[in-house]
Chain A
Amino acid sequence: MTTSLNPASSADADAVTAAAALALGDDALVLSHRLGEWAGHAPVLEEEVALANIALDLLGQARVLLSLVGDEDELAYLREERAFRNVQLVEQPNGDFAHTIARQLYFSTYQRLLYGRLAETDGPLAGLAAKAVKEVAYHQDHAEQWTVRLGDGTAESHDRMQQGCDALWRHTGEMFQPVDGIDIDWPEIEASWTASVTAVLERATLAVPEGPRTGAWSAGAGRQGLHTEPFGRMLAEMQHLHRSHPGASW
């Protein structure tokens, strides 16, 4: 590292990086938590293993990212709902297995593109992104395979998968709101995401959902700390034990 000639701008740069790390870290933390709720409830034993594996990868990413910002536990357990910067998509409740898979498809496709592009930059998050993108490639493969299996399975699974995709569609636009400190071509990512997801849905004999991908409330809202009602309950459960013993170490 060379010493910056302008300490003020260096501090600004650090703050921008921290804000970006917080956004990506919160995405990973919150989705990991949701996937952790599946433990003991998955439809088949292989999925107990797979969902836990994805949850663990995401938790690992979250811990690295949050540690760039401050103390990982303080950030995870002592922030109020309005201070979280994750997109609303990842906080949505699990629903049935198809709903969870739709969430996985939308998010892992985004995360793979995001980390892939980020890994090509020379920014401070490039190293982490390069490592994480390998994990995320597996998550995306898992989600795509299940989307196709369920979409092109039975009439019931087709309907459920379509419902899952439709219900979460309005949370997908938010992911492409540029995040300060992540210097990538956001419109390009959005176009790649749309092409990729469309191809999978077609292979799964599913219709690409119609309707807006953002609304007055959801456009970029999560990144500004506006969340949906189920998120508060999720945090209440996640934080209660830690908060019940102030200052304790575990």
Chain B
Amino acid sequence: MATAAAHQAARTQAAHATSDATGTAPGQAPGTAAYQTAFDTAVAAEERIEPRDWMPDAYRATLVRQIAQHAHSEIIGMQPEANWITRAPSLRRKAILMAKVQDEAGHGLYLYSAAETLGTGRDELLDKLHSGRQKYSSIFNYPTLTWADVGAIGWLVDGAAITNQVPLCRCSYGPYARAMVRICKEESFHQRQGYELLLALSRGTEAQHAMAQDAVDRWWWPSLMMFGPPDDESSHSAQSMEWKIKRHSNDELRQRFVDICVPQAESLGLTLPDPDLVWNEERGHHDFGAIDWTEFWEVLKGNGPCNEQRITQRRQAHDEGAWVREAAATHAAKHSEAKHAEAQDSGANGKATA
């Protein structure tokens, strides 16, 4: 953990680097090279980069892209699960599901705020989502066909998300890392509720067990795709690792996830739909079958079962809410004008009586 003293030391070091590189006295505006050195030093020393620190434009752009995609995934991800709120089969399950979907809206809020610290506001990012210029996790382009899908999403999709996200708690960008600490805590509840939901189904009636198995069969492969393309085809990975935004490769995290899921599936009494899934003593990991990357790229391109539906609902909610947001802004403006006028009045009175 970075202490305040260590932080100060790095900044001081950075200041030296600054004056060395540019030949200017400390306090004068240094050149970009010096800032770059200070930034590199801080990242190498596992320091957190904070909103007011200098950072390379590409680092900022990468973070905005990644945080925005994550935020968009949270709010689009509400849809497949909200699909079952009104049909949840018990009041306890209904309360849990509503709380979970609410958490996702909350995660969206933290993440849009984290992106805002990089100078990009929520409106701009939503606009990019709605116009298709920014993406969200492809997993949410699959439909939730039965109640068991709520469990499969919790166990597998949230499980994969946690595997991806826990290392982000140590991301070099402070506001993102801190948002992730809170998000990961809540995600781990989500994962457990999904597991527990599936367990109840698996141990329930024959029909319930079959429902659970069917859901796992449909969500397993798309969950493995959530880690992104294989390392040799991943376009942003190397630079992100260097910047300590990313800590582990896609394939490394995917392997970790598979190894975690296999014993859990056994405890659930469910099977994973991969005949090639087998423990490899030599590697100390499970081997697993080939992923259908054609499907991944197709869904990413917009040809998944729900791409159109998800973005249409999102746009519709946004467009139908425009008059509400406009009213709130208008009311706030009126209110602050009135306050301002009142303050001026009382100021003028104050002068008159003085």
Contacts and interface: CB of A to CB of B under 8 A. Distances in A.
A211 interface: no
Shortest beta-carbon contacts, A-B, top 9: A43-B321, A153-B327, A157-B327, A52-B102, A48-B105, A39-B82, A43-B324, A40-B82, A149-B331
A135 interface: no
17 contacts: A36-B85, A40-B79, A41-B317, A43-B317, A43-B321, A45-B75, A47-B324, A48-B108, A52-B101, A59-B91, A59-B98, A66-B91, A96-B320, A150-B327, A153-B327, A157-B326, A245-B208
Given A29-B91, A250-B197, A250-B204, 17 more contacts: A36-B85, A43-B322, A45-B75, A45-B105, A48-B78, A49-B102, A60-B95, A62-B91, A149-B331, A150-B331, A156-B327, A157-B323, A160-B323, A241-B88, A245-B208, A249-B200, A249-B204
Contacts of A33: 86
Contacts of A136: none
A149 B91 contact: no
B112 interface: yes
B134 to A, nearest CB: 16
A250 B85 contact: no
A12 interface: no
B6 to A, nearest CB: 36
A55 B98 contact: yes
B228 interface: no
B90 A242 contact: yes
Contacts of A216: none
B102 A48 contact: yes
A121 interface: no
Contacts of B88: 241
A35 B40 CA distance: 49
Given A76-B91, A149-B328, A154-B327, A36 B98 contact: yes
Interface residues of A, number: 49
Interface residues of B, number: 50
Interface in A29-73: 29, 33, 36-37, 39-49, 52-53, 55-56, 59-60, 62-63, 66, 72-73
B91 A72 contact: yes
A238 B92 CA distance: 14
B87 A237 contact: yes
A150 B324 contact: yes
Interface of B: 75, 78-79, 82, 85-95, 98-99, 101-102, 105-106, 108-109, 112, 122, 147, 197, 200-201, 204-205, 207-208, 313, 316-318, 320-328, 330-332, 334
Contacts of A76: 91
A3 to B, nearest CB: 33
Contacts of A238: 86-87
A237 B324 CA distance: 28
A190 interface: no
Interface in A151-197: 152-154, 156-157, 160
Residue from B93, B122, B331 with most neighbouring chain A CB atoms (10 Å): B331
A40 B82 CA distance: 7
A130 interface: no
A5 interface: no
Given A40-B317, A249-B200, A241 B147 contact: yes
Interface in A58-102: 59-60, 62-63, 66, 72-73, 76-77, 96-97
Residue of A96, A148, A149 contacting most chain B CB atoms (<10 Å) = A149
Contacts of B95: 56, 59-60, 63
